[in-house]
């Protein structure tokens, strides 16, 4: 597919993946890795992982397990080394927008609908109205 690992990238990554694990041995790490990369690129929830990449629970569990074990750091270091350090990663936290890209400044306009006329009807009770007072008895 479009963003799947190339054969060169896979040849760099494959030897670094864990091999001696308990339980069922992974059948196709490359497919799962491509699925993990798909979710990270698309920003989609794990449940939206296309079926061609395998089960979303497998991809999610492997991503988290490898994150806790520090495997991702080793994979990224190996890819950078294989490309002679010419790898650039762009994250939205470092991309800045030019100040004029947000559009023109907002203008606030105050509209006066009209003043109350002298003949307008008063709709509230006057302040000078006497309050009810309890009797002393």
Per-residue pLDDT of the chain (137 residues), as tens digits, is: 777 888 988 888 888 888 777 777 777 889 999 999 999 888 889 999 999 999 999 999 999 999 998 888 888 888 888 877 776 666 666 556 666 666 666 676 766 666 655 556 666 666 565 666 666 66
Sequence-distant (6+) residues with CB within 8 A of 4 are 34, 37
DSSP state of 25: P
| Whole-number pLDDT of residue 36 | 93
| Whole-number pLDDT of residue 101 | 64
DSSP state of 69: H
| Whole-number pLDDT of residue 42 | 86
- Taking the C-alpha atoms of residue 73 and residue 86, their distance in angstroms, rounded to an integer, is 17
CB atoms inside a 10 Å sphere around CB 115: 7
**Residue 81: Cβ-neighbour burial (10 angstroms; 0-12, 13-18, 19+):** exposed
- CA atoms 36, 44, 70, 83: torsion sign: positive
| Whole-number pLDDT of residue 83 | 76
DSSP state of 120: P
Confirm if 63 and 34 have CB atoms less than 8 A apart. no
| Whole-number pLDDT of residue 3 | 75
| Whole-number pLDDT of residue 53 | 93
| Whole-number pLDDT of residue 26 | 74
- Taking the C-alpha atoms of residue 71 and residue 5, their distance in angstroms, rounded to an integer, is 17
- pTM for the model: 0.60
- Taking the C-alpha atoms of residue 40 and residue 55, their distance in angstroms, rounded to an integer, is 16
| Whole-number pLDDT of residue 123 | 63
């Amino acid at each position: 597919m479009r963003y799947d690992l190339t054969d060169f990238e896979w040849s760099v990554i494959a030897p670094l993946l864990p091999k001696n694990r308990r339980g069922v041995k992974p059948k196709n790490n490359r497919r799962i890795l491509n699925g993990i990369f798909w979710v990270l690129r698309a920003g989609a929830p794990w449940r939206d992982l296309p079926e061609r990449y395998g089960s979303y629970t497998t991809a999610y569990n492997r991503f988290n397990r490898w994150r806790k074990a520090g495997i991702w750091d080793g994979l990224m270091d190996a890819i950078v080394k294989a490309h002679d350090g010419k790898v650039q990663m762009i994250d939205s936290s470092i991309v800045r927008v030019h100040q004029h890209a947000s559009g023109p400044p907002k203008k606030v306009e105050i509209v006066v609908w009209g003043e109350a006329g002298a003949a307008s009807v008063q709709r509230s009770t006057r302040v000078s109205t006497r309050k009810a007072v309890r009797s002393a008895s």
